[in-house]
Amino acid sequence: MTRTTPALVALVFALPAAAQEMTDEQKSTVTEIHEPVPETVETSEDAPPSDATVLFGGENLDAWEGMEGGEAPWTVEDGAMRIARGEGGIRTTEDFCDVQLHVEWRSPEETEGYDGQDRGNSGIFLQDRYEVQVLDSYDNPTYVNGQAASIYKQHAPMVNASGAPGEWQSYDIVYTAPDFSDAGMLTEPARVTVLHNGVVVQNDVEIQGKTVWIGAPAYDEAHGCAPISLQDHDADVAYRNIWVRPLN
Ligand code: MG
């Protein structure tokens, strides 16, 4: 069914007399947009969208470096990259702002002796600052704004969509970077949507500032595009199939 919006009605009545003699077919074209034409993206079940930047395709850490630069200290095995515990996190060599980000991760199958924040803890830091928590939250209570798919210490996920320990899980993240004035004041906070294993768990929530363990988050420094980083929180978490689509 074609719906006539108030704006369109106003437009048609505002047309000069000659234009009012247009046929409905002609009038219908007044509100059509023809350019720019969206670019074509190829999609398939087993591959990233054709316009995605692959950050980890299973073979090497070429898109990554250590947190102070230099070679990424993590290892690659069976198509997955693994945290080298105690060696620190890794970050992309490229900077990103607004993105669609796909990440798959797996926490250890063996959970004996590990509870709460100590069970499969890692994290995805957008712009190297804002953490989407990675944690084994399958039958593993902790503070809810620190469980899997929380925006750490800010927003709990709406539901717990966690898979079992040792299972591959996915995050699909849509992230809008914060904006700052020329004087360095925050003008728009960052926003994020997260799907955990295909389930929406964060719906366009406002990020309150840089992720911190103690105290309140704040935007204490203006910044531009920055790397995406992955946390070494001393757990054997593995990652695979990571790709990103810059949105700006
Ligand atoms: Mg973490």
Alpha carbon of 27 to ligand 1 centroid (Å) = 56
| Cα-trace Rg, the chain | 23
Backbone angles phi, psi at 116, to 5 degrees: 55, -130
Helix (H, G, I), strand (E, B) or coil at 66: strand
Alpha carbon of 151 to ligand 1 centroid (Å) = 10
Assess contact for 226 and 214: CB atoms under 8 A.
Answer: no
Which are the contacts of 217, defined by CB distance < 8 A and separation ≥ 6?
A: 153, 154, 207, 208, 209, 210, 211
Which amino acid is located at 79 in the chain? G
Alpha carbon of 133 to ligand 1 centroid (Å) = 5
> Looking at the whole model, is its pTM more than 0.85?
yes
Neighbours of ion ligand 1 (CB under 5 A): 121, 123, 231, 233
Assess contact for 212 and 130: CB atoms under 8 A.
Answer: no
CA distance 173 to 154: 16
Alpha carbon of 122 to ligand 1 centroid (Å) = 4
Whole-Å CA distances, 191 to 49, 101, 112, 130, 179: 23, 14, 36, 10, 11
DSSP annotation of 11 reads H
CA distance 210 to 220: 8
CA distance 29 to 23: 10
Alpha carbon of 4 to ligand 1 centroid (Å) = 50
242 bridge partner residues: 56
Alpha carbon of 146 to ligand 1 centroid (Å) = 8
Positions in the chain short of pLDDT 70:
1-19
Core vs surface per residue 179-198: b (16+ CB within 10 A) or e: ebeeeeeeeebbbbbbbbbe
Which amino acid is located at 134 in the chain? V
Alpha carbon of 130 to ligand 1 centroid (Å) = 11
Alpha carbon of 16 to ligand 1 centroid (Å) = 63
Assess contact for 71 and 198: CB atoms under 8 A.
Answer: no
Ramachandran area for residue 149 (φ above 0: left; ψ -120 to 50: alpha; else beta): left
Q: Minimal CA–CA distance to 100: which of 2, 17, 195, 214?
A: 195
